[in-house]
């Protein structure tokens, strides 16, 4: 996996007795950015993060239960993580942020907006599940070997191999394996959606950008339209030719979309 | 010594080509994994023929009745879901029928998959009814299940072990406490527990716990003084696992003996060694359990090792040396890179004899004339100090005739000899105690 060599720092706060770790870099004049990773975990400081940090302070937490953030054994749904992350931002002292949620992290971001939208200046959701698709189904990672699942997140298999090689290394596989276990604790049945969410989104007035890879094989594009219809201030952009992991396949293009939207 | 009989009840349909783990399509043979239906948890039930299933269910019940007639103490049923190699998705139905059509053999369930029951109250009621109809002959056994069970009933795999323990505690309390009472647990809640059926055996039917790998299940069984029934495995690894049980038993203040230990082993008997060797090869054919080494079938490892289902490093038994099983149960998933798929080899060029011979050599499979089988089983029960043995026969591609002729020879020669061996070596079974082992948790 390509990670950036740029200077970033690592810090942690305690929330509900649990350590929540985050990476951060950048110090621009803009509103700080919070980036929430996908269900496969955050491999580190990515070129996408680096692109964002050129304009604003950018913070990338490991979601509680993923990576270096301790597991809340009691957590049963993404909303539990949303509550913990709000409290983590309280501890860090960030009253106002924009948030970028990637995949499952976007669902957590949407729950955060439902709970406390005053904190958010802008919301960006990339290929985000959380709503039952009107058309098609959300690809079920629990029925796939994790490597097969991550491959399915790419439109271009050459891009997958450029990132991970033909055989991902042990650390990457361990991250996927470990992350999948936490995901299974949070969204098993129903898988990757909550029937309450679209009704609650109707009250979220935060300006929202929805980004979908044109070739997203994991979360159907119909979910993007459903988010757009549920949220009062949302628009949908499609990155043609990209798969589900837009931030890895098209880091610059996605970062440019985000920067233009949040600035 | 307690002697039981077991078959996994494979779905055999020669007409559809599902005889052997190979399917035929247009007369062509496929290697496992290449055929549309030969992959574990990849077989569409569009291939299912209810007429065939009707015959097979009744065949397996008939064989159980005959096994009782031949002198077996116990008739064992196991449970798997969405699987060709085991038709027992609803074993309580089979057990209920056996309760009525057999007379004295114990009906041993090894076992119900506890974590996949969203309503364990229903399980408590069903098992109590079976015990009542059978006149107190039920031995419930409980398992955590493989990934296919969690997939089939959509049970949240990370909570498998928690749900197992809570469902156990709930069922035992339901059987042993006068109702009504209320249950407010972590995974199960009931506002009125007062079923109008209680088991015939008091305080509750003896519980036996089957397993293969999970160290915490073994420890848990020892702490509850439940007999542990090892489902196959290499003798040395099984011995080490039993030693661990003894150690756990000693930690809670008792000494485990042969009555605590059972073993399920493939045994097929014919008049001659040569004939038995040929028929025994069928264990490795047919839709036989593909996660047992050497069998013809392909396991989809990621479904067996669902997230959180298997304990992580440091909680595995020494049996992980048995690589095929360990892989199937999800050991070292993060460490082992995915292997490139083996090139397709036509059926007639595939050589399974090496694996078959190896399994015979290692005592994973025992085949032969009555004399040969008795001699080899003597070694097995002596090595493992077993109080309970289940002879696993009539499996894979074996026919009803194969099963019946072997049962006859078992009844005539093998069972009496094994009882004698048990007496000579002083190997009591769970029912040689009053109350029988496992009945007081």
Measured between beta carbons, the chain B residues lying within 8 angstroms of A142 are 151, 157, 306-307
Q: Is residue A4 part of a domain?
A: no
Selected residue of B82, B149, B157, B158 to mutate for chain A interface (largest A Cβ count, 10 A) = B158
User: b/e string for B392-422 if b means 16 or more Cβ within 10 A?
Assistant: bbbbbbbbeebbbbbbebbbebbbebbeebb
Q: Is residue A100 part of a domain?
A: yes
pLDDT value of residue B350 = 47
**Number of independent structural domains in chain A:** 1
Q: Is residue A239 part of a domain?
A: yes
pLDDT value of residue B129 = 98
Minimum distance, in Å, between the CA of residue B382 and any CA atom of chain A: 42
Q: Which of A15-29, A40-54, A126-140, B316-330 has the lowest mean pLDDT?
A: B316-330
Residue-range definition of the domain harbouring residue A187: 9-262
Q: How many residues does chain A have?
A: 263
Structure tokens at B286: 């047919």
Q: What is the CATH number of the domain that holds A180?
A: 3.40.50.1820
CB contact, 8 Å: A174 with chain B? yes
CB contact, 8 Å: A260 with chain B? no
pLDDT value of residue A107 = 98
pLDDT value of residue B336 = 41
The residue of chain B with its CA nearest to that of A142 is B306
Q: Please give the helix or strand (H or E) that residue A234 lies within, else none.
A: strand A234-239
Cβ separation B334–A173 shorter than 8 A:
yes
pLDDT value of residue B318 = 55
Mean pLDDT of chain A: 95
Q: Which of A143-152, A182-191, B31-40, B290-299 has the lowest mean pLDDT?
A: B31-40
Structure tokens at A158: 């050459």
pLDDT value of residue B298 = 58
Q: Is residue B438 part of a domain?
A: no
Structure tokens at A157: 């298999």
Q: What is the CATH number of the domain that holds B424?
A: 3.20.20.30
**Number of independent structural domains in chain B:** 1
Q: Is residue A30 part of a domain?
A: yes
Q: Is residue A64 part of a domain?
A: yes
Q: Which of A172-186, A235-249, B41-55, B309-323 has the lowest mean pLDDT?
A: B309-323
Minimum distance, in Å, between the CA of residue B158 and any CA atom of chain A: 6
| pLDDT < 50: residue spans in chain B | 19-38, 320-352
pLDDT value of residue B289 = 64
Selected residue of A71, A171, A185 to mutate for chain B interface (largest B Cβ count, 10 A) = A185
Cβ separation A181–B338 shorter than 8 A:
no
Cβ separation A143–B158 shorter than 8 A:
no
Q: Is residue A3 part of a domain?
A: no
CA A117-A122-A123 angle, to 5 degrees, is 80
Q: Is residue A67 part of a domain?
A: yes
Q: Is residue B441 part of a domain?
A: no
Structure tokens at A103: 């995949």
Selected residue of B39, B334, B341 to mutate for chain A interface (largest A Cβ count, 10 A) = B334
Cβ separation A170–B334 shorter than 8 A:
yes
pLDDT value of residue B212 = 80
Cβ separation B337–A167 shorter than 8 A:
yes
Residue-range definition of the domain harbouring residue B410: 2-432
CB contact, 8 Å: A137 with chain B? no
Q: Is residue B437 part of a domain?
A: no
pLDDT band at A39 (very low <50, low <70, confident <90, very high): very high
Phi then psi for residue A72, to 5 deg, are -80, 105
Q: By the 8 A CB rule, do B180 and B165 touch? A: no
Measured between beta carbons, the chain A residues lying within 8 angstroms of B335 are 170
ipTM for the assembly: 0.94
Nearest CB to B156; choose among A173, A174, A188:
A188
Query: What is the spatial distance between Cα A196 and Cα A200, in angstroms, rounded to a whole number?
Result: 7
Strand boundaries in B250-306, DSSP class E: 261-269
Helices A78-92 and A170-186, packing angle to 10 deg = 110
Q: Is residue A1 part of a domain?
A: no
Minimum distance, in Å, between the CA of residue B309 and any CA atom of chain A: 9
Query: What is the spatial distance between Cα B2 and Cα B403, in angstroms, rounded to a whole number?
Result: 20
State the burial class of residue A115 (Cβ atoms within 10 Å of its Cβ: 0-12, 13-18, 19+): middle
Measured between beta carbons, the chain A residues lying within 8 angstroms of B302 are 143-146, 148
Residue A29, pLDDT > 90, answer no
Cβ separation A174–B334 shorter than 8 A:
yes
CB contact, 8 Å: A189 with chain B? yes
Selected residue of A173, A183, A192 to mutate for chain B interface (largest B Cβ count, 10 A) = A173
Q: pTM of this prediction?
A: 0.91
Nearest CB to A170; choose among B158, B301, B335:
B335
Residue A119, pLDDT > 80, answer yes
Q: Is residue B372 part of a domain?
A: yes
Minimum distance, in Å, between the CA of residue A169 and any CA atom of chain B: 8
Q: What percent of chain A has pLDDT over 70?
A: 98
Measured between beta carbons, the chain B residues lying within 8 angstroms of A165 are none
- The arithmetic mean of pLDDT across residues A45-62, rounded, is 95
The residue of chain A with its CA nearest to that of B304 is A143
Residue A207, pLDDT > 70, answer yes
pLDDT value of residue A100 = 98
Q: Is residue B6 part of a domain?
A: yes
pLDDT value of residue B325 = 41
């Amino acid at each position: 996996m390509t990670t950036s060599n740029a200077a970033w720092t690592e810090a942690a706060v305690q929330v509900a007795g649990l350590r929540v770790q985050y990476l951060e870099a950048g110090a621009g004049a803009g509103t700080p950015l919070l980036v929430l990773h996908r269900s496969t975990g955050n491999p580190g400081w990515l070129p996408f993060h680096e692109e964002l940090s050129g304009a604003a302070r950018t913070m990338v937490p490991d979601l509680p239960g993923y990576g270096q953030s301790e597991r809340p054994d009691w957590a049963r749904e993404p909303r539990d993580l949303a509550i913990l992350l709000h409290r983590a931002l309280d501890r860090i002292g960030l009253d106002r942020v924009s948030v970028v949620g990637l995949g499952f992290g976007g669902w957590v971001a949407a729950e955060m907006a439902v709970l406390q939208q005053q904190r958010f200046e802008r919301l960006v959701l990339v290929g985000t599940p959380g709503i039952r698709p009107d058309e098609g189904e959300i690809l079920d990672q629990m029925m796939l070997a994790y490597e097969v699942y991550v491959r399915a997140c790419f439109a271009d298999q050459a891009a997958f191999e450029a990132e991970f090689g033909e055989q991902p290394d042990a650390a990457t596989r361990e991250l996927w394996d470990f992350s999948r276990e936490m995901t299974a604790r949070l969204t098993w049945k129903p898988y990757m959606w909550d029937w309450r969410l679209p009704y609650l989104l109707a009250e979220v007035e935060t300006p929202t950008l929805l980004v979908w890879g044109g070739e997203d094989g994991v979360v159907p594009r119909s979910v993007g339209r459903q988010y757009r219809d549920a949220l009062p201030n949302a628009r949908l952009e499609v990155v043609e030719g990209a798969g589900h992991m837009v931030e890895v396949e098209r880091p610059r293009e996605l970062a440019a979309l985000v920067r233009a939207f949040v600035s | 010594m307690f002697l039981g009989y077991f078959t996994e009840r494979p779905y055999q349909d020669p007409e559809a080509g599902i005889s052997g783990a190979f399917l035929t399509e247009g007369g062509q043979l496929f290697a496992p994994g290449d055929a549309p239906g030969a992959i574990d948890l990849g077989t569409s039930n569009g291939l299912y023929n209810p007429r065939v299933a009707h015959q097979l269910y009744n065949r397996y019940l008939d064989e159980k009745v005959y096994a009782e007639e031949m002198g077996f103490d116990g008739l064992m049923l196991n449970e798997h879901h969405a699987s060709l190699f085991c038709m027992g998705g609803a074993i309580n139905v089979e057990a209920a029928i056996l309760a009525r059509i057999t007379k004295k053999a114990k009906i041993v369930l090894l076992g119900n998959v506890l974590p996949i029951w969203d309503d364990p109250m229903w399980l408590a009621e069903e098992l109590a009814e079976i015990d009542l109809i059978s006149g107190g002959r039920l031995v419930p056994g409980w398992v955590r299940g493989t990934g296919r069970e969690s997939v089939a009933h959509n049970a949240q795999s990370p909570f498998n072990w928690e749900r197992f323990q809570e469902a156990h505690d709930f069922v035992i309390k339901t059987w042993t406490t006068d109702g009504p009472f209320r249950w407010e647990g972590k995974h199960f809640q009931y506002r009125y527990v007062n079923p109008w059926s209680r088991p015939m055996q008091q305080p509750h039917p003896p519980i036996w716990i089957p397993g293969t790998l999970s160290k915490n299940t073994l420890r848990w069984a020892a702490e509850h003084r439940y007999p542990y029934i090892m489902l196959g495995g290499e003798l040395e690894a099984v011995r080490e696992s039993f030693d661990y049980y003894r150690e756990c038993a000693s930690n809670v203040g008792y000494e485990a003996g042969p009555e605590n230990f059972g073993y399920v082993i493939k045994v097929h008997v014919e008049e001659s060694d040569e004939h038995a060797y040929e028929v025994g090869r069928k264990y490795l054919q047919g839709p036989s359990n593909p996660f047992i080494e050497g069998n013809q079938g392909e396991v989809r490892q990621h479904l067996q090792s669902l997230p959180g289902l298997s304990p992580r490093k440091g909680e595995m038994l020494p049996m992980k040396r048995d690589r095929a099983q360990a892989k199937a149960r999800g050991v070292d998933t993060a460490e082992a890179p995915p292997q490139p798929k083996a090139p397709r080899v036509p059926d007639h060029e595939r050589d399974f004899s090496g694996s078959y011979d190896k399994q015979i050599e290692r005592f994973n499979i025992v085949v032969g004339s009555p004399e040969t089988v008795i001699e080899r089983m003597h070694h097995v029960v002596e090595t493992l100090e077993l109080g309970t043995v289940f002879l696993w026969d009539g499996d894979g591609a074996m026919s009803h005739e194969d099963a019946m002729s072997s049962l006859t020879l078992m009844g005539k020669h093998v069972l009496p000899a094994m009882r004698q061996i048990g007496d000579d070596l002083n190997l009591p079974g769970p029912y040689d105690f009053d109350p029988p082992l496992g009945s007081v948790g």
